[in-house]
Amino acid sequence: MGTMRKTIIVLTATMVTMTLVACAPEIGSRDWCNNLEHTPKSDWTANQTSDFAKNCIP
């Protein structure tokens, strides 16, 4: 594989990854709380549980 082709593949993969990460709501925001409420609690991480308790429970 040529160097130019490898560079294009790496740049494309990086752009796709950055786009997907940028779409995630900010932790503690209303959207984040709503998304987590619709996720089974068995799928939550310890950090998500802690953040939910701090930010989403009045």
At 24-45, the pLDDT tens digits run 889 999 999 999 999 999 999 9
Q: What is the mean pLDDT of the chain?
A: 89
The residues, ordered by sequence, that sit 6+ positions from 44 with a Cβ below 8 Å of its Cβ are: 36, 52
pTM as predicted: 0.59
Coil vs helix vs strand at 35: helix
Residue 1 has pLDDT above 90, yes or no: no
N residues, the chain = 58
Q: Are 25 and 56 in contact (CB under 8 A)?
A: no
| Token pair recorded at residue 48 | 């998500």
